[in-house]
Amino acid sequence: MNKFLNSSLQSKIISVCVFANILIFVVNVFLLAGINSMSKDMDMVYEDNRALNELTSALDDVQDSMTAYLSSKTSDSLESYYISAQELSNLAGDLSGRITDLSYNRMERNIKNMTSNYLTEVEGTIDGKRGRNVEKYRAGYERSTELYSYIKAYLSRLNLELFVSNSENFTSLLRAFKTFEIVAVVVMTFVMIGNVIIVTSFVKTMILPLKKLSDSADEVADGNFDIVLPTVHYNDEVGIVIGAFNKMVVSIRDYIEKLRESLEKEKDMQEKELSMEAHLKDAQLKYLKAQINPHFLFNTLNAGAQLAMMEGADRTYEYVQTVADFFRYNVKNRQDTVRVREEVTLVDNYIQILNVRFSGDIGYDKQVDERLLDHHMPSMILQPIVENAVNHGIREMAGKGRILLKVYREDDNLCISIIDNGKGMSRETIEEILSGTRNPDKIRYDNNGIGMDNVISRLRIFAGKRDVISIYSKGEGYGCEVKLSLPLGEK
């Protein structure tokens, strides 16, 4: 039994179908054999009556052929007589000659004897006719006719008696046949019910694991992996599929658990990283803003003292006031962001201070969209870029150097460009500045000490992207443009 249950589904299905069909076939064979046997018995019931009817018919033929020959004396009638006489002799020979107490057996013996005598008398009558012995064939015909009448009477009585007896037998056989039909129907019904029960039990046994597997698969599809795994009962195809499904669910459980632990660890690391990054940005901003070269303050105040000695008090006051505004912005402004307007004003003050120091050698123009001045940007950005343009671009141009400051909108960006007509720079220098690989001694400034790397770092932290600043120059001797592209946020 276990060997059958552990076999393949194909073998199970074929075995059950073959068993059911063989069972039905065997039952049908037995039923058909019983029906055939009873049919033969019923056919044999009236066999005796048919034999007596044939004997009566043969007796009539002999009598008729004899009469016809006596009347016409033709060869055809004579031939007919011989044929019918032979047939009657054969049929009479089949009758029983046994001596018993049964009446129809005695009658059968009498009919056989009388038929023999009858045929002898008929033959004598025919011989008398052929010999033209009138007295002989007349006497023979009368005796033959008398025997014919007795035989007919006996045949009728025997036929009737046998018919009554056979009718009773036929009725019994008919009742038995109907009973057999009922039994056959009952047997076939039980066989069909048994087959249905066997097939249903087999299908249920086969489908039940699939049903459990289907329910478990639906649970897994809904995201529930904490299910009771279906049990593998047999090593057939269904058992193999259930085993594979169980392994898959266990693997997914383990993977989800590992993934959950990994995500929790990653989340903790991200939280720590974000916290460290926030502290780092804060420290970087404070550190970058603190890198102000005190030598610039000394040089500027020194120039103001010299001017006070050479000129009157009004210009000295204006100069000192401008210097005071400039350093007030640098020293007192501790905010991370300021308005664009404040940065532009700082550049204006810075250019004015430089023109006092260098006798108006620096040309300065502005193209500013006033609607953008109230937007925010990092502090201390524009003045270091302008200072870089002055120190490394136009200081030695003897009054021909010019700086253009532009504030405009481009798509969703606030753009600020600082353009000079100075020395310009090579592509290699631009790439070194933007990548932070240029020698720090070459990119720091003589006065305030805030380098380009400082400016770029704070701009990228503020904007959250690397392409916040661009530098354009056709090469050395063609000037330079530094362009800032800041997100255009709320005012």
Asked whether residue 273 is domain-assigned, the answer is no
On the CB side of 173, CA atoms within 13 Å amount to 19
Considering 184, 210, 236, which residue would you say is the last residue of a domain?
A: 210
Give 158-165 contacts, CB < 8 A, sequence gap 24+. 158/52, 158/104, 158/107, 158/108, 158/111, 159/49, 159/52, 159/53, 159/56, 161/103, 161/104, 161/107, 162/48, 162/49, 162/52, 162/104, 163/46, 163/49, 165/104
Please tell me whether residues 190 and 328 are part of one structural domain. no
CATH number, position 16: 1.20.120.1730
Q: Which has the closest alpha carbon to 94: 51, 62, 61, 56?
A: 51
How would you class 41 by CB atoms within 10 Å of its CB: exposed for 0-12, middle for 13-18, buried for 19 or more? middle
Q: Which domain holds residue 415?
A: 296-487
Q: Which residues pair with 484 in a beta bridge?
A: 416, 469
Can you tell me the distance from the alpha carbon of 275 to that of 271, in angstroms, rounded to the nearest whole number? 6
Task: Please name the residue that has the structure tokens 């020395």.
Answer: 423
Nearest 5°: phi and psi at 232?
-90, 115
Domain tally, the chain: 2
Asked whether residue 77 is domain-assigned, the answer is yes
Query: Cα angle at 142 between 140 and 143, to 5 degrees?
Result: 65
pTM of the model: 0.42
Per-residue pLDDT of the chain (491 residues; tens, 9 = 90+): 566 666 666 777 777 778 778 878 887 887 777 777 766 765 655 566 677 788 888 888 888 888 888 887 788 888 888 888 888 888 888 777 666 666 666 777 877 888 888 888 888 888 888 877 778 888 888 888 888 888 888 888 877 777 777 677 767 777 877 888 888 888 888 888 888 888 788 777 777 777 777 877 887 777 777 777 777 766 767 777 777 877 887 888 788 888 888 888 888 777 766 654 554 455 455 545 544 444 465 456 556 656 666 676 566 666 666 666 666 565 555 457 889 999 999 999 888 888 887 776 788 999 999 999 999 998 889 999 999 888 887 877 777 889 999 999 998 899 999 999 888 888 888 888 888 777 655 543 344 445 788 888 888 888 888 889 999 988 777 889 999 999 987 66
Considering 191, 210, 229, which residue would you say is the last residue of a domain?
A: 210
Please tell me whether residues 30 and 169 are part of one structural domain. yes
Tokens of 487: 């997100």
Where b means 16+ CB within 10 Å and e means fewer, 246-271 reads beebeeeeeeeeeeeeeeeeeeeeee
Please tell me whether residues 201 and 302 are part of one structural domain. no
Please tell me whether residues 307 and 176 are part of one structural domain. no
Please tell me whether residues 186 and 313 are part of one structural domain. no
Please tell me whether residues 309 and 170 are part of one structural domain. no
Yes or no: say if 337 and 379 are a contact pair by the CB < 8 Å rule.
yes
CA R_g for the chain: 68
Q: What is the H or E stretch that residue 365 is in?
A: strand 363-368
DSSP for residue 391 = I
Asked whether residue 291 is domain-assigned, the answer is no
Considering 210, 245, 269, which residue would you say is the last residue of a domain?
A: 210
3-state SS assignment for residue 469: strand
